[in-house]
Amino acid sequence: MTKKPDILRIAIAQLNPTVGDVAGNLAKAREARADAARQGADLVLYTELFLAGYPPEDLVLKPAFLKVCEKAAQEFAADTSDGGPGVIIGTPLKRKSGTHNSIIVADGGKIIAERYKLDLPNYGEFDEKRVFQAGPEIQGPVNFRGVRIGIPICEDIWGDVGICESLAESGAEILLVPNGSPYYRAKIDVRHQVVIRQVIECGLPITYANQLGGQDELIFDGASFAIGADKTLAFQMSQFEEAVDVITWKRGEDGWVCAEGPMSKIPEREEADYRACMLGLRDYVNKNGFKNVVLGLSGGIDSAICAALAVDALGEERLRAVMMPYRYTSKDSLKDAEDCARALGCRYDIVPIFEPVEGFLHALTQLFEGTKEGITEENLQSRARGTILMAISNKFGSMVVTTGNKSEMSVGYATLYGDMNGGFNPIKDLYKMQVYALSRWRNSHVPPGALGPSGEVIPKNIIDKAPSAELRENQTDQDSLPPYPVLDDILECLVENEMGVDDIVARGHDRATVTRVEHLLYIAEYKRRQAAPGVKITRKNFGRDRRYPITNRFRDRG
């Protein structure tokens, strides 16, 4: 009888795949396996649907894509004939029972097991039931070199369907879970609690391997970890960083115990949000093949933090900042924008918009005769700026970074085909007060992996002065909107928490203000449908998480 091993060294491959780049993902997997082999690993655990990239969405409806993914899985399985580590890696697989979100286990040059995801998420940012079929039944543990390993996939441990408990009952000794769990604020605490609950149910240690990287609006933050059978944190990998860490597990009288593994410090709230925005922008630009980016630097807080994020994510040489002054642009704004660009070290150009705006106004003189000047004329300024940025984009191949925050986008305080122009928005899911908090944080810290300078990169005057679009004389945002601390709290109640007007008023807000904000939120839906994608930071972002009709007459009147 073969003696069961007393030590199992599992490498967690916390990596950044690219959706659709199957060859690139396979090469990354091979590199990680070689690294794990050098570290003495017996097994490498990759993340959910790693070979395809996650989430692949409707790509899995293409037979050609599925064939490429399965071929890559077979090739990777063949690699294990070299006597090195076995692998657990995610890939979509088409079988008689349907197309499944799957993993393969490979060792000794062949695939020794397949397992299919049972609980397909269909909420928030997930719609897996649209493209996958659930596994036909709970599959038992896999015997890997004498160790019985249960492999539930991501959502299989989030629900109350008893998958972990069933695996334990069928003989599993340890559970390894490949995940594609997107970031939102304080998500790590949520994951820990989910796993602790399952450990209590099944009595087994659970390793949670999570993907890293930006994919459109989703950010995968890594932060892989394990909870031991004693319900304590066994190891914690870093957040927002690629890593291949080998964890040593030892068999004891009461089962498997983590004997050696990293215990990384997890960033605090502002740092985590900032690094999520930075990672999202970097991956969106690089994975889509843009060489550089351009943004309008107005002297305001939103464009300043976007400029800082761009330099931190991409480097100063890949950002062009453009100030586009008009008659209402203050001297302070001109100085603040220049000071910000100088502090960041990026290219800074000034393109006045007086002539194009006046040209538009002249062309419309006859049509507008007898009408009063107002928002239409203000928006012409914004649209002239948007046109200039798009012209620079077309001429030089630079992606336009758009800079509107969640507070503005919630209530429609943005101009279609103007300041909303752009390919990606790193602060799309940050409320205005969060923008201020992250700006203050960045002036005192340089996040790991940032390419930008230390010190004050967002001039203090930008943070201190009253925010203004500067589209008319002496304009401030608060001419049209409630104070941002009030507005942000009301919006968080309406958007994140789906609270009724009466409940929001009970928090101390003025009823007329709440009903007005609710009305503005609903009527701005058509603008948000046309907005650039941007990093998801909160539990409920616009787009994937919150899908309201454009045509909508409902108003909460209590």
Q: Is 288 annotated as a binding residue?
A: no
Task: Give me the phi and psi of 246, to 5 degrees please.
Answer: -95, 125
Q: Is 468 annotated as a binding residue?
A: no
**In this structure, what token pair is assigned to residue 531?**
């907005």
Active site residue 117: yes
Q: Is 298 annotated as a binding residue?
A: yes
Report d(CA 245, CA 237) in Å as an integer: 8
Q: Which of 408, 398, 218, 138 is nearest to 300 (CA)?
A: 408
Q: Is 303 annotated as a binding residue?
A: yes
Choose the catalytic residue: 70, 128, 154, 277: 154
Active site residue 154: yes
DSSP secondary structure, 66-117, as one string: HHHHHHHHHHHHHHGGGSS-EEEEEEEEEETTEEEEEEEEEETTEEEEEEE-
Q: Where are the alpha helices (DSSP H) in 397-483?
A: 406-411, 432-444, 460-464
Q: Is 123 annotated as a binding residue?
A: yes
Q: Is 540 annotated as a binding residue?
A: no
Choose the catalytic residue: 70, 114, 117, 202: 117
Contact 262, 370 (CB under 8 A): no
Place of tokens 């796993």: 195
Parallel/antiparallel/unpaired status of strands 293-296 and 319-323: parallel
Q: Is 403 annotated as a binding residue?
A: yes
For the packed helices 331-344 and 301-314, what is the interaxial angle rounded to 10 degrees?
A: 10
Q: Is 302 annotated as a binding residue?
A: yes
Question: Which pairs with CB-CB distance under 8 Å and at least 24 residues apart come from 27-35?
Answer: 29/76, 29/87, 29/89, 30/76, 30/79, 32/244, 33/79, 33/84, 33/85, 33/87, 34/84, 35/11, 35/244
Q: Which of 277, 551, 297, 266 is nearest to 429 (CA)?
A: 277
Residue 311: C-alpha distances to residues 247, 306, 321, 454, 455 (Å): 35, 9, 11, 12, 14
Q: Is 70 annotated as a binding residue?
A: no
DSSP secondary structure, 265-277, as one string: PPP-HHHHHHHHH
Q: Is 299 annotated as a binding residue?
A: yes
DSSP secondary structure, 361-413, as one string: HHHTHHHHTT---SHHHHHHHHHHHHHHHHHHHHHH-PEEBP---HHHHHHT-
Report d(CA 87, CA 106) in Å as an integer: 5
Write the CB contacts of 371 (distance below 8 Å, at least 6 apart in sequence): none
Report d(CA 69, CA 65) in Å as an integer: 6
Choose the catalytic residue: 48, 70, 128, 470: 48
Q: Is 335 annotated as a binding residue?
A: no
Q: Is 548 annotated as a binding residue?
A: no
H or E stretch at 339:
helix 331-344
Active site residue 48: yes
Q: Is 99 annotated as a binding residue?
A: no
- Sequence ranges of the binding site: 123, 181, 187, 296-303, 379, 403, 408, 527
- Sequence ranges of the binding site for ATP: 296-303, 403
Question: Which positions are annotated as active-site residues?
Answer: 48, 117, 154
- Sequence ranges of the binding site for L-glutamine: 123, 181, 187
